[in-house]
Homo-oligomer: A and B are copies of this chain.
Amino acid sequence: MSTFSMEKHQLTGRSLIAGETAAGHGETFFGFNPVDGRALEQEFFSASIEDVDCAVNAALEAFAALAESTGKERSALLRSIAAAIEAAAPQLAEQAHLETALPRTPRLAGEIARTTGQLRLFAAMVEEGSWVQAHIDTADANRTPPRPDLRSMLRPLGPVAVFGASNFPFAFSVAGGDTASALAAGNPVIVKAHPAHPGTSELVGRIVSDAVKASGFPAGVFSLLFDRGHQVGAALVQHPGVRAVGFTGSLRGGRALMDLAAQRHEPIPVYAEMGSTNPVFILPGALQQRGEDLAASLHGSFTLAGGQQCTKPGVIFAPTASADGFVDKLRTATRGDAAFSLLTAGIAHAYKRAIAGRSELLTAEGAPAQDSADGHWASPGLFETTSDHFFANADLGEEVFGPATLLVHCSGIEEMLRAAHSLEGHLTATVIGTDDDLMQNKQLLRVLETKAGRLICNGVPTGVDVCDAMIHGGPYPATSDGRSTSVGNQAIYRFTRPVAYQNWPQAVLPPELQDVNPLGITRLWNGKLIPAPTS
């Protein structure tokens, strides 16, 4: 049975600062049910600037203990968070469903499983220990000049501010990938809850906070702050004690944080995942062979979760001159759609404005959206245009967050290649083709390599696996930093820096760098890679 007590975890609406419930001084706010647009019962209290200061100072005090803890100790903390989330899964899914209208199953249950999976993935990484990238070059007195003993490994950065996303109330929120990877590397975390799911945030926040307490780590390892507006987030990013930022959200929001971080006395890294139109390129052979199937799978992908996925295919380039089956199927599938409830009034409003702004290109629309006064409903939409019109209207390349996509009719591969060259950065780019198509259009792949973090062949961009090889990143404006990924094992490296130790006695070196390799990790020893004995 669940060890998670409903009594203990009733909502309070209060921020959690280093294990203590904060009074909250600012404006209050409510979660909303997207289905009927009505405010939920629990009132939430915005944190104050003083609360931010308390949380960051507690994080700074906790940093040394967390940074010096063993991988096994941090692993135990992450596993206990995962276990407690699993135990509370029914209540968590219920609360998130109330606040987001995302289906309890498979979506929210699946997202909770992904979230606990991520926590355990990073737990396993730091338990095993090789992730620190130990480099050891032993002394050589006979070389000219003599070589000193030099050893380096990754160390944590310090307190990390994490901004929860609206569209993934678990996997990119309070105990999501940013928090899991930052904690795993040894960084205290201060989460700014997304106001679209404050109740879910509080429940998960209390789980993390309780787990920190039970683990024996200082309580400052984790804090959760509520805010109706942007003041708390801005103060966090500007606080001298904060050393890095993780964010998932809009380009406007992410860029604002990037600018604040760059203007600090000491600029800090901001890892902002800011969305993308995830262009899809359909090559002629595949379009002829299986146009209708492609239309069906792309339709499923662009309407998944109401089109509120970072990886939604928002623009499709195809040589459609003799592909009526594909085009017709895309239109009829869209017309057959029911309306979706979107996550927030703001998202629904922006979506409807974008639809209205492109109304002359709208060729198919799903069932009419219900009146917005009664909820955040929106109707799926298909836009179509020519490549000439696309090239002449730069705003058509912008992301429309919601269940819409844009089909760009191209005359042939030259126009598609031109479109690829014209792209800014994206999280993903997809190429659909027969083997012949692909071999004849390697140039397209080469161009797309410079534009996206993940290149999909004969699939859809939605669905982001959490594994070693996953890159959920991409050049600006898809993210603030195309050199990183926010999903998968490699996300841990965002919150680290390398430190070299020169000529230190064995007894003072971190165990990862001692000759005897007490942790049994993989190391680079005098240029030779020595895999972990256990691997």
Contacts from A to B (Cβ < 8 Å): 63-64, 67-68, 110, 130, 135-137, 145, 147-148, 150-152, 155, 157-158, 258-259, 262-263, 266-267, 269, 424-425, 435, 438-439, 442, 445-446, 449-450, 452-459, 463, 465, 467-471, 473, 475-477, 480-485, 490, 496-505, 507-508, 522, 524, 527-529, 531-532, 535
User: What CA separation (Å) do A169 and B250 show in the bound complex?
Assistant: 45
Interface centre among A157, A457, A459 (most CB of B within 10 A): A457
Contacts of A535 in B (CB 8 A): 528-529
Residue of B nearest to A480 (CB): B267
The listed residue (B445, B481, B496) touching A508 by CB distance below 8 A is: B445
Closest beta carbon of chain B to A70's beta carbon, Å: 14
User: What CA separation (Å) do A399 and B469 show in the bound complex?
Assistant: 43
Closest beta carbon of chain B to A64's beta carbon, Å: 6
When the two chains form their complex, are residues A455 and B504 in contact, meaning their CB atoms are under 8 A apart? Answer: yes
Closest beta carbon of chain B to A240's beta carbon, Å: 11
Not counting A152-B470, A455-B500, a sample of 11 additional A-B residue pairs whose C-beta atoms are within 8 angstroms of each other reads A63-B450, A137-B470, A152-B468, A262-B267, A266-B425, A266-B477, A438-B504, A454-B501, A455-B501, A457-B501, A529-B531
When the two chains form their complex, are residues B453 and A499 in contact, meaning their CB atoms are under 8 A apart? Answer: yes
User: What CA separation (Å) do A481 and B266 show in the bound complex?
Assistant: 10
Given A508-B439, A508-B457, check contact A137 B266 (CB 8 Å). Answer: no
Closest beta carbon of chain B to A312's beta carbon, Å: 16
Closest beta carbon of chain B to A73's beta carbon, Å: 16
Copy number in the complex reads: 2
A–B complex contacts, Cβ < 8 Å, 16 sampled: A136-B468, A137-B470, A145-B463, A145-B465, A152-B470, A258-B267, A259-B262, A267-B480, A435-B505, A453-B499, A457-B501, A469-B500, A469-B524, A483-B496, A484-B498, A522-B529
Residue of B nearest to A158 (CB): B450
User: What CA separation (Å) do A497 and B528 show in the bound complex?
Assistant: 24
User: What CA separation (Å) do A503 and B262 show in the bound complex?
Assistant: 38
User: What CA separation (Å) do A150 and B446 show in the bound complex?
Assistant: 17
Closest beta carbon of chain B to A513's beta carbon, Å: 9
When the two chains form their complex, are residues A449 and B155 in contact, meaning their CB atoms are under 8 A apart? Answer: yes
Contacts of A453 in B (CB 8 A): 497-500
User: What CA separation (Å) do A480 and B262 show in the bound complex?
Assistant: 10
Contacts of A531 in B (CB 8 A): 529, 531
Residue of B nearest to A261 (CB): B262
Closest beta carbon of chain B to A127's beta carbon, Å: 14
When the two chains form their complex, are residues B468 and A135 in contact, meaning their CB atoms are under 8 A apart? Answer: yes
User: What CA separation (Å) do A137 and B450 show in the bound complex?
Assistant: 22
Interface centre among A258, A470, A522 (most CB of B within 10 A): A470
When the two chains form their complex, are residues B503 and A458 in contact, meaning their CB atoms are under 8 A apart? Answer: yes
When the two chains form their complex, are residues A473 and B497 in contact, meaning their CB atoms are under 8 A apart? Answer: yes
When the two chains form their complex, are residues A438 and B155 in contact, meaning their CB atoms are under 8 A apart? Answer: no
When the two chains form their complex, are residues A457 and B504 in contact, meaning their CB atoms are under 8 A apart? Answer: yes
User: What CA separation (Å) do A439 and B524 show in the bound complex?
Assistant: 27
The listed residue (B150, B424, B459, B469) touching A469 by CB distance below 8 A is: B150
Closest beta carbon of chain B to A220's beta carbon, Å: 16
When the two chains form their complex, are residues B496 and A137 in contact, meaning their CB atoms are under 8 A apart? Answer: no
Interface centre among A67, A269, A439, A469 (most CB of B within 10 A): A469
When the two chains form their complex, are residues B527 and A500 in contact, meaning their CB atoms are under 8 A apart? Answer: no
Contacts of A522 in B (CB 8 A): 529
